[in-house]
Amino acid sequence: MALRRPLIGIPADRRMLGEQPFHVVGEKYIRAVIDAAGGLPLVIPALGDELAMDELLAQLDGLLLPGSRSNVEPRRYAGEPSDPGTEHDPARDATTLPLVPRAVEQGVPVLGICRGFQEMNVAFGGTLWQKVSEQPGFADHREDKSQPLEVQYGPAHEVELAEGGVLRALAGRDRLQVNSVHAQGVHTLAPGLAIEARAPDGLIEAFRVARAAHFALAVQWHPEWQVMGNAFSRALFAAFGAASAERAQLRQR
């Protein structure tokens, strides 16, 4: 029997396009699943409790939590109300926040990126800075939106990889250059999460779920951006894809 590609779910944003709601995922995440993880992408609609989550996870071999222009609602982590005009996506929150712990418990490999990184921290009981740039001692981690995308997503700063961590093993060195396209960040790290990387200002840039039996890791930067042109990004998605493929093979027997 030929081995099938792992089925990797990608939760969607719920956005109003015109007068109607749509469930959307950025193409760069879909392409990264296909090209770098070797998976078959499946867009998961942001339907919250209407999804039969356990039934869904039983069909998935991996879960990729993508970035988004929206922020996790602060009520989800007992934070202060957001500034007027802050974009939120309560439908996505209602989908991903209960989905992530279930996925880890059921052995589904998970990779979180940017908003997905923040979602994972909140899902396990952590909190967020809503504006990292306004916190004493922290740098401004936002992109310059007046610049072309290639500049916005270009290398912005180093991260130091934790000794003995998954990312250091993948990189084969203790530091990486990464992009920086975010305003929010981890304030309090959730119990059970282990730091994988920090920015020069001390901000947590990556973590893993320490108790997870399989791959369960998140990064604050955007490795999906031009993934095939970055050796470490390819390695990260390949490791996620390999864990997903292992689950697919076990379920195929």
The Cβ of residue 176 has, within 10 Å, a number of other Cβ atoms equal to 24
What kind and span of H or E run contains 32?
helix 27-35
Catalytic residues: 114, 222, 224
**pLDDT at site 2:** 61
**pLDDT at site 168:** 98
Model pLDDT for residues 201-230, shown as the tens digit of each residue: 999 999 999 999 999 999 999 999 999 999
Cα torsion for 179, 119, 194, 162, to the nearest 10°? 0
**pLDDT at site 110:** 98
CA distance 28 to 194: 27
Model pLDDT for residues 57-95, shown as the tens digit of each residue: 999 999 999 999 999 999 999 999 999 999 999 999 999
pTM (2 decimals)?
Answer: 0.97
DSSP structure class, residue 162 = P
Closest CA to 9 of 227, 253, 248: 248
**What are the structural domains of the chain?**
7-131+184-252 (3.40.50.880)
Residues with Cβ within 8 Å of residue 236, at least 6 apart in sequence: 111, 167, 170, 219, 223
Residue 43 pLDDT > 90 = yes
Average pLDDT over every residue of 151-163: 97
Question: How far is CA 226 from each of CA 9, 28, 30, 136, 148, rounded to the nearest angstrom?
Answer: 20, 8, 12, 33, 14
CA distance 199 to 231: 20
**pLDDT at site 117:** 98
The Cβ of residue 101 has, within 10 Å, a number of other Cβ atoms equal to 16
Confidence category of residue 4, pLDDT binned at 50, 70, 90: confident
Chain centroid, CA 171 distance in Å: 19
Which has the higher per-residue pLDDT, 3 or 121? 121
